[in-house]
Structure 1
Amino acid sequence: MPEYQTLLVEQHDKVAHVLINRPEKVNAMNAAFWDEIVQVFGWVDQTDSVRVVVISGAGKHFSAGIDLAMLAQAAAGMTTDIGRNAERIRRNILRLQASFNAIDQCRKPVIAAVHGYCLGGAIDLISACDMRYSTPDAQFSIKEIDMGMAADVGTLQRLPHLIGDGMMRELAYTGRMVDGHEAARIGLVNRTWDSHAELLEGVLALAAEIASKSPLAIRGTKEMIRYSRDHSVEDGLNYIASWNAAMLQSEDLKLAMTAHMSKKSADFAD
């Protein structure tokens, strides 16, 4: 398994656990982080034995968002030419967006386990995940507004589908903190666990349950959910009909039906 500067990756049976591993910097996202996220999810996509991914933060917090030193470095590289500056900034933003697109587009379900701070860019990250869980004392904030900018790595595009347009606007315009209890109430997280240890135990158990299902069925389900988010109902129905025309011929369907009728667990191929 590859080693990374900012991430610690472990595989437990069929579940990959990705820890943001800069606890001394509150897991702030530096330049290496954005490249390594793409590398990790490339590895996940290509590794058939990995069926589900859990993302958490090492130390006391999930992540304080983008590393301000990285922003300062980018600012220092500006020239007097407005056009060239704009093109360079746009290119950099698109590169950062690609890092979290890799999570959204991953073939396998990705679950975020949040404790402590989840600020700014960390909201962009969890918005790209399939599901989110937290501790009650987790602190969420779309912090970009307090830095004089609009969030630009996916929060404003993905969060309305998770918590609704009005609530997203309130949090984006104010930058106010939301704790785990409120996050659960508004649908930002599915549920909370009382401690960090219980959170990880619960989320890893959930991931293991998902990993026990047919990987083809999980793959198709995620693909259809993602597609339907950005298309009409008619488009989505047409796509699932074409998809299942092939996938319903899989051995997984026969295995699942046999296991269900015999009240036993199925063992699906990777």
Structure 2
Amino acid sequence: MSYDSVRLSREGEVATLTLAHPKGAFGPATWREVPLALAEVEGARVLVVRGERAFSVGLDVAATAPLIAPALGDPERFKTVVDEMHAAIEGLAALPVPVIAAIDGWCIGAGLELAAACDLRLCSASARFSLPEVKLGITADLGGLQRLPHLIGRGRAAHLALTGEPIDAATAERWGLVTEVLPDADALYARAHALAAHLATLPPRALEGTKRTLQDGLSHAESLAAAVQWNARHMTAEALKLSAVSRQPSASESHR
């Protein structure tokens, strides 16, 4: 299918979702089209999410206001509008395959909330991150306040959300929001696709089980039990064979 605000491409077992809104923002078309594009990801082993220019400068307020304004003061109607946005972001988080966010330039508001729903985040040195909703009189409601404390700690999430001030790429890496900072956009996308290609070689059921266990939000004991149950259902004899023949550390390595 062709879309107005996103593009989906495929190279082998790696799919790429490009956020291509002309303003670099998320408008109504984005929220409609992301779930449709995600439905086409079936069969891919990894998904890379990137922007066409900046990753995202957040919500296209001008385009979205006509939908939100009539719902103000009516919680049920407002929820219906926001549920479409939730469906896009939660659909991304729910994919059974690893999702890598490759972030260049600004990653603001809804863009940061979408990036937080990905499994891995890499960025370029020029990337900037912010959750500025409080400056606009809004409480972030697309998952950022729920996911960011788990990624960077409650205190740092509170700093982002309560001040609305941006952080740079080095700070994002130091805080754990991203795991790698690359020199520029070209290096970023090359690294993201190399990482995706590596993940695509790994057993898909093991990746899915690991992703679900990391996401489940259960207590320690419940999470351990869920991982055990997943392996009981999906671990194969081939996996055990691979484990048995894996290289053991040398004597010198074992003493490091």
Residue number in structure 2 paired with 1:11: 10
Alpha-carbon deviations, 1:189-208, whole Å to 9, x = none? 10100010000001110010
Aligned length: 247
- Are 2:15 and 2:47, in contact at CA under 8 Å, matched by a contact in 1? yes
Alpha-carbon deviations, 1:169-188, whole Å to 9, x = none? 01101111111111101111
Residue number in structure 2 paired with 1:43: 40
CA distance in 1, matches of 2:57, 2:126: 15
Q: Does 1:55 align with 2:52?
A: no
Q: Does 1:234 align with 2:230?
A: no
Residue number in structure 2 paired with 1:149: 138
Residue number in structure 1 paired with 2:253: none
Q: Which amino acid aligns with 1:102?
A: G
Report SS of the residue matched to 2:146.
helix
Question: RMSD of the TM alignment (CA)?
Answer: 1.7
CA distance in 2, matches of 1:182, 1:20: 24
Q: Match for 2:233 among 242, 246, 259?
A: 246
Q: Does 1:71 align with 2:71?
A: no
Trace 1:17-32 onto structure 2 (pairs within 5 A): 17-22=16-21, 24-25=22-23, 27-32=24-29
> If the length of structure 2 is used for normalisation, what is the TM-score?
0.91
CA distance in 2, matches of 1:78, 1:243: 42
- C-alpha displacement at 1:254, in angstroms? 5.4
- C-alpha displacement at 1:163, in angstroms? 0.4
CA distance in 1, matches of 2:110, 2:101: 14
Residue number in structure 1 paired with 2:173: 184
CA distance in 2, matches of 1:154, 1:141: 14
- Are 2:68 and 2:78, in contact at CA under 8 Å, matched by a contact in 1? no
Q: Match for 1:175 among 164, 171, 181?
A: 164
> If the length of structure 1 is used for normalisation, what is the TM-score?
0.86
CA distance in 2, matches of 1:30, 1:54: 21
Moved over 6 A (4+): none
CA distance in 1, matches of 2:68, 2:142: 18
Consecutive unaligned residues of structure 2, counting only runs of 5 or more, are 248-256
Report SS of the residue matched to 1:213.
coil
Consecutive unaligned residues of structure 1, counting only runs of 5 or more, are 262-270
- C-alpha displacement at 1:70, in angstroms? 2.8
- Are 2:18 and 2:50, in contact at CA under 8 Å, matched by a contact in 1? yes
- Are 2:55 and 2:104, in contact at CA under 8 Å, matched by a contact in 1? yes
- Are 1:65 and 1:121, in contact at CA under 8 Å, matched by a contact in 2? yes
Trace 1:217-228 onto structure 2 (pairs within 5 A): 217-227=206-216
Change (3 A) 1:146 1:37: same
Identity of aligned residues (%): 32
Change (3 A) 1:259 1:69: farther
Report SS of the residue matched to 2:9.
strand
Trace 1:197-208 onto structure 2 (pairs within 5 A): 197-208=186-197
Q: Which amino acid aligns with 1:246?
A: R
Q: Which amino acid aligns with 2:88?
A: S
